[in-house]
Structure 1
């Protein structure tokens, strides 16, 4: 299986804190932002049930799973 096929096949379980719905999202529905610290590293998605923008913290393990599953990643840079 190629990397592209893995990314297409990757599905992640998620939940919305607003409407409390649980669902599965394809890698393309998630975004990962990697900052300089754990406080500035997070993933985000739009709840398919209520439409809320959801942002959750991402530790090392979550970052590994999401990047390995083909989630688009944005590296945040701090300017001095």
Structure 2
């Protein structure tokens, strides 16, 4: 069965939701893919995701390992690939 056949007749697909937490105000919440950004760098230190806490408004940046990167990309999070000048 093709993807087109499997989703034929569907009018809307529910968006992916990610659970997140704010290290500043300690709130827990859910974010949609449009609320997150992913930056992929040359090393684990330069690969991270970020969002703005909907509770306190602080900008949050967290490291992203390989599995987190896969999940975020698969969920439709916008991705920026960082280039190094070596």
Scaled by the length of structure 1, the TM-score of the pair is 0.90
Q: Which residue of 1 aligns with 2:19?
A: 13
> What runs of 5+ residues in structure 1 fail to find an aligned partner?
none
Count of residue correspondences: 76
Q: Secondary structure at the match of 1:44?
A: strand
Residues 1:35 and 2:35 aligned together = no
Q: Which residue of 1 aligns with 2:58?
A: 52
Q: C-alpha separation between the residues in 2 aligned to 1:71 and 1:79?
A: 26
RMSD over equivalenced CA pairs, Å: 1.4
> What runs of 5+ residues in structure 2 fail to find an aligned partner?
1-6
Q: C-alpha separation between the residues in 1 aligned to 2:50 and 2:64?
A: 10
Q: C-alpha separation between the residues in 2 aligned to 1:60 and 1:47?
A: 23
Scaled by the length of structure 2, the TM-score of the pair is 0.84
Q: Secondary structure at the match of 2:69?
A: helix
